[in-house]
Structure 1
Amino acid sequence: MERNIPQFLIAAPASGSGKTTVSRGLMALFVKKGLKVQPFKCGPDYIDTKYHTAVCGRPSINLDTFMASGGHVSELYARYSSDADVSVVEGMMGMFDGYDRDRGSSAEVAQLLGIPVVLVVDAKSAAYSMAPLLSGFINFRPEIRIAGVIFNRVGSPRHYEMLREVCEDLKVTCLGYLPKQTELIQESRYLGLDFSLSRGTDALDLLTGLLEKNIDWQLLLQRTTLPLPEAQEMRQDTAIKTGKLRISVARNQDSFSFLYEEHLDILRRLGTVSFFNPEHNRPISQKTDLLYLPGGYPERHSVALHSARKAVDSIHKYIEAGGKVLAECGGMIYLSRGIVHDAFTCTRQFDGLTELTGVFPFCISNNKRFRKLTLGYRRFDYNGQHLRGHEFHYTTFMEGEENMKCIPPSIAQVYDAKGQTVTTPVFRYKNVIASYTHLYWGEIDVMALF
C-alpha cells in the first residue's frame, strides 16, 4: 500500500553554511511534534549520524553512491523509511560537490531518490546578491526540485525581509531563517564537528525554539510530501540463510565507535552479535566465528587499551588459533605493536611506545606536531570481490628504518575514487584482514573475504 510522507534532503551551497545545524534542529522539532523521524546522511560520515540518532531515537543511515550502487542506496532509503512519519536526509559538503564533479554528491542522491531539496544558505553580509547564487542552484539541474530556502545567520528582521524579496523574485519558496546566534556556533573537533554544547538540552532547545518560531515547518512538511517507495526484499545468499554465526563486535563511545547501522543489521542476519569493550579487562569468547574491530579513536585511549590485558591476550590467542578478524583503521591500530605519541621516527628501542595487541609488528605514530589528515574514497579487489570504502585518519605508520621494515607487504593495490593508485596497504595475517580503509560491505559477502 502506497504511503505519502514528507521527505527531503537538506543541502547547501558550501560546507559551513549551517546544514548540520538546521538538519538536527528540524529533526528535533519534528520529534517534539510527535513524529517518527528517520534520519539519513549522505556520504561516509560516522559523526553526524551519531547526533541524528541521539535526536531521533532511530539509527541514522548512510547513503553513499560511490560505495554502493544506486539500486542499493534506493533500497536502503525505502527500507529504513518504511515506518517513518518523515524522512530527513542531511547532505554533505556543497550540494554539487562529489568525488568526480557532481558524481556522488548530495544532488545525485536527491535525484536518485526523487526527493526535493531544502537549501540552507549562509546569508551573512549579503542581501540581493543572494539572487544570482540562488538562481544558479535552482536552474543548474532543473530536474532536481528545490522545495524551499532557509537562510542562516540572518542579522535582523529587515535583513530577512530583503532575503525574502529575493525568493519572491525567483519564485522559490522562502521557508524562514535562523538568526545569528553565538550559542549555535560549532567549533572544529578532532575529526568532524564539536557538539559539546548541544550534548545537553540547552543548546538543542534553543535551536528547536528558534526554528519553530522562524521556520514555516508546516509548509515545509506540506511541500515535501510525496509517495514513499516500497522496500524491496533483501537479497539472500547462503551465508545469510544459515544465520548461525557467533559474531563479536568491539564497540564503545570513542575508540571503537565508527559503525554503520546497516553493517550491524547484516551481522545480525548472519548470526548472533555480541558487543564488547576492549578497554574493559575481560576476555573475548574463543568460540567466536567473526571478530569485527571497527574504527574510532584508539590512539586517544591507548593506555586503557594497553591495560586491559585479558582482552588483549584473548584476542591474540583467538587470532593465532586462526580466528577470522576484520579490522578497520582503529581496529588495525589496535592490532599493531603499539602507538608512539611523541616521537616522529621510531628508534630501535621504540621509545615512548604504548604497547597494544602486537599481532602486527609495526608501530603507529600519533605525533600531534606532524599530524596530517589522510582522507578519501578507496577501492580494491580481493578474493574475487570488488571492495569499496573510505579512509580518514591523522595517525600514520611510524617513520624510521626500524619500523618501516616491520610493515608487511600489501595484499592488494588500493585506488582512489578516480582510479589513481594510493599507498594505503591492506594486510593479511592468518585469517586477519586489516587496513586503514573502512570497508563498505552492504553489497558483498563479508565472510567470503577470508
Structure 2
Amino acid sequence: MTSADSGVPRLVIAAPSSGSGKTTVATGLMAALTGRGLAVSPHKVGPDYIDPGYHALATGRTGRNLDAYLCGPELVGPLFLHGARGCDIAVVEGVMGLYDGAAGEGELASTAQVAKLLRAPVVLVVDASSQSRSVAALVHGFVSWDPEVRIGGVILNKVASDRHEVLLREAVDCVGVPVLGVLRRAARVDVPSRHLGLVPVAERGSDAVDAVAAMGAQVAAGCDLEALVGLARAAGPLPGGSAPWTPGPVPTLPHARMRSRGGTPIPSRSVEKSTPRVAVAGGAAFTFSYAEHTELLAAAGAEVVAFDPLRDEELPEGTAGLVIGGGFPEVYASELSANEGLRKSVAELALSGAPVAAECAGLLYLCRELDGLPMCGVLDASARMSGRLTLGYRDAVAVSDSALAAAGTRLRGHEFHRTVVEPGAGAAPAWGMRAPQRRVEGFVERGVHASYLHTHWAAEPGVARRFVERCRTS
C-alpha cells in the first residue's frame, strides 16, 4: 500500500452499548492479526486516551483517535490514512453504542458516522450473557436502523455454554447476518478499572502485556480470522479520493537524526534557538496525549524530548517550552509532590515566561496543591478529588491571548475528570465555554496556558506553530 492508497482493508468493531466487550475484541483482534504477521493500524473512535495504549501494545504501532467532533468529519479519513500508512489492515474500535454520539448532535462523533465516513464494514460485538433468541431482535434493529451502516457480521461475547451458543447462532441466522466469532467468559482478559475507566498500560507493566496476549489468544481461538480479513478487504476505497493527513514538512536540519518514541519519529539535534527544545511530560502519571501533537510540534521546528515527572528530577537541559497533558496525577500525588527538584524546575521555567501548555492533569500539577500535597505552585489555585464526574464535548473560544491561541480562536474540546480546581479560572481565563453552560475556565499567566479542556491540535495546526514560535522568541 502506498501512502496515497485509500483502499486499505479496514473494520470497525462496534457494540449495542458500552460494556459489551468492544475493547477486548478489538484489542484481541489487533493482537491476533499482528501475530499472523500482518501490519495492523490501530484506531479508536472518540476522545479516549486509554484504549489506544492497549491497541499500541497489541500492534507495536501508535494508537490513534478518530474524532469527528474534535477534528471535524472532513479530517476523519485523512487522519485514518495517516495512521494506516504502510499497513496491511486497520482495526477501528468504536465508542459507546454504535449510534451514540455527541449529546444533542444527532450522529455526530458516533461510531456509525465514522464507519460511514470510512466506508468501513462494522462487526457488532453483542453481550449475549443474559439472552438467547432475543439476540435476533437486537441485531435486526441495529442492522436496519441506518441502511448506510453496513454491519457485516456479529461476534457473540460472554457465551455461557455450547447449548447457549447453538441457541444464539440459530437466532442470528434468522437475521441473515453471519456470526464471525463466539467468545466465552474469560477472567484473564479482564482489564481493571477505576474512576476514569480502564487502568492505562503504562501503569500495569507486564500485567498489561499478559492481558493483551490473552485477548489475542481468545480472539484467535474463537473468531474466524479469515472471514474477518475478507470482510475488511471488501471495504473498497475511501470516498472522494482522500489523501493522508500530514503535520507539515519536518525541517531538514544539519546533523539531524531521527528518534522514535512510541512509533512517532521525532527530529533531534543539538539545541539552537531556531530549534527550540520542547519537553513533553510522560510516564505513568501523564498518559493522555494525541500522537499528532508531537508530530505537529516537530513539523513546526521543535526538538521534542519526553520526560517522566515521577522519575526525572529536573527538566531536560535547554528546555524552551513545556507540554503537560492529561493523566492521573491524583493517583501519583505523593510521588509527584516528593519530587521537589522537578517541581522547582517547572516553576522556574514558568516564571521565566517560557511557553507552558497544560491540559487537565497538567493543570492540577501546576496548582499550589493537589489533595493537600504541594505541587508546582505555578498557579495560585488548589485542586482536589471530587465525587462528581465532569464529562463531555465542549465548544470553546479563547478568552485571552496565549502561547497556544489568539483571543477569539474557536476550538472544540473535551472534558473528563473527577477533580475540582479552586478558583476555576484566573484573572485571564483560558477558555469561554458555550455549552452545556456558559462559563469561563482555565488560566493564562505569563507564558502558561492551563485548562481542563483536552483539544486535538490537528483541528487547528496553528496551535503548534504558534507554541513553537513562542518558544523561539520567549
**Same fold flag (TM > 0.5):** yes
1:411-430 correspondence runs (5 A): 411-416=430-435, 420-423=436-439, 425-430=441-446
Residue aligning to 2:264: none
- Determine whether 1:50 maps to 2:85: no
* Segment drifting more, 436-445 vs 29-38: 436-445
- Deviation at residue 309 of structure 1 after TM alignment: 2.7
Conservation of the 8 A alpha-carbon contact between 1:75 and 1:231:
yes
Describe the shift of the 1:326–1:41 C-alpha distance in structure 2 as closer, same or farther (beyond 3 A): same
Residue aligning to 1:438: 454
Residue aligning to 1:401: none
Conservation of the 8 A alpha-carbon contact between 2:39 and 2:59:
yes
- Determine whether 1:36 maps to 2:39: yes
- Deviation at residue 210 of structure 1 after TM alignment: 2.9
Residue aligning to 2:91: 88
* Match for residue 380 of structure 2 among 346, 353, 361: 361
- What is the CA deviation profile of residues 121-144 of structure 1, one whole-angstrom value per residue up to 9, with x for unaligned ones? 011121111111111110111111
Quote the Cα distance in structure 2 between the aligned partners of 1:12 and 1:86.
Answer: 20
- Deviation at residue 260 of structure 1 after TM alignment: 0.8
Residue aligning to 1:346: none
* Match for residue 389 of structure 2 among 373, 376, 379: 373
Task: Name stretches of at least 5 consecutive residues in structure 1 with no aligned partner.
Answer: 341-352, 399-403
Given residue 332 of structure 2, which amino acid in structure 1 is its aligned partner? H
- Determine whether 1:386 maps to 2:393: no
Computed over aligned residues only, the root mean square deviation of the Cα atoms, in angstroms, reads 2.6
| 2:319 match: secondary structure | coil
* Match for residue 329 of structure 1 among 352, 360, 378: 360
- Determine whether 1:209 maps to 2:217: yes
Describe the shift of the 1:305–1:211 C-alpha distance in structure 2 as closer, same or farther (beyond 3 A): closer
Quote the Cα distance in structure 1 between the aligned partners of 2:197 and 2:278.
Answer: 27
Residue aligning to 2:429: 410
- Determine whether 1:275 maps to 2:278: no
Describe the shift of the 1:201–1:248 C-alpha distance in structure 2 as closer, same or farther (beyond 3 A): closer
Quote the Cα distance in structure 2 between the aligned partners of 1:260 and 1:405.
Answer: 25
- Determine whether 1:157 maps to 2:149: no
* Match for residue 123 of structure 1 among 110, 119, 128: 128
Quote the Cα distance in structure 2 between the aligned partners of 1:156 and 1:406.
Answer: 55
Conservation of the 8 A alpha-carbon contact between 1:252 and 1:277:
yes
Residue aligning to 1:251: 281
| 1:231 match: secondary structure | coil
- Deviation at residue 281 of structure 1 after TM alignment: 4.9
| 2:13 match: secondary structure | strand
* Segment drifting more, 8-17 vs 422-431: 422-431
* Segment drifting more, 24-33 vs 154-163: 154-163
- Deviation at residue 197 of structure 1 after TM alignment: 10
- Deviation at residue 317 of structure 1 after TM alignment: 2.0
* Match for residue 81 of structure 2 among 75, 78, 82: 78
| 2:51 match: secondary structure | helix
| 1:372 match: secondary structure | strand
- Deviation at residue 280 of structure 1 after TM alignment: 3.4
What TM-score, normalized by structure 2, do the two folds share? 0.83
Describe the shift of the 1:215–1:424 C-alpha distance in structure 2 as closer, same or farther (beyond 3 A): farther
Q: Percent identity?
A: 35
Describe the shift of the 1:127–1:236 C-alpha distance in structure 2 as closer, same or farther (beyond 3 A): same
* Segment drifting more, 211-220 vs 114-123: 211-220
Residue aligning to 1:349: none
- Determine whether 1:448 maps to 2:453: no
Given residue 176 of structure 2, which amino acid in structure 1 is its aligned partner? K
Given residue 466 of structure 2, which amino acid in structure 1 is its aligned partner? A
Describe the shift of the 1:205–1:300 C-alpha distance in structure 2 as closer, same or farther (beyond 3 A): closer
Quote the Cα distance in structure 2 between the aligned partners of 1:235 and 1:51.
Answer: 24
- Deviation at residue 424 of structure 1 after TM alignment: 5.7
Across the two proteins, how many residue pairs are aligned to each other? 426
Task: Name stretches of at least 5 consecutive residues in structure 2 with no aligned partner.
Answer: 254-266, 268-273, 399-405
Conservation of the 8 A alpha-carbon contact between 2:129 and 2:159:
yes
Residue aligning to 1:220: 228
- What is the CA deviation profile of residues 362-407 of structure 1, one whole-angstrom value per residue up to 9, with x for unaligned ones? 11112xxx52211111221222421121111111125xxxxx5995
Given residue 234 of structure 1, which amino acid in structure 2 is its aligned partner? T
Residue aligning to 1:345: none
Given residue 441 of structure 2, which amino acid in structure 1 is its aligned partner? P
Quote the Cα distance in structure 1 between the aligned partners of 2:286 and 2:217.
Answer: 34
- Deviation at residue 222 of structure 1 after TM alignment: 0.6
Residue aligning to 2:26: 23
- Deviation at residue 153 of structure 1 after TM alignment: 0.8
Conservation of the 8 A alpha-carbon contact between 2:11 and 2:122:
yes
Describe the shift of the 1:253–1:172 C-alpha distance in structure 2 as closer, same or farther (beyond 3 A): same
Describe the shift of the 1:405–1:426 C-alpha distance in structure 2 as closer, same or farther (beyond 3 A): closer
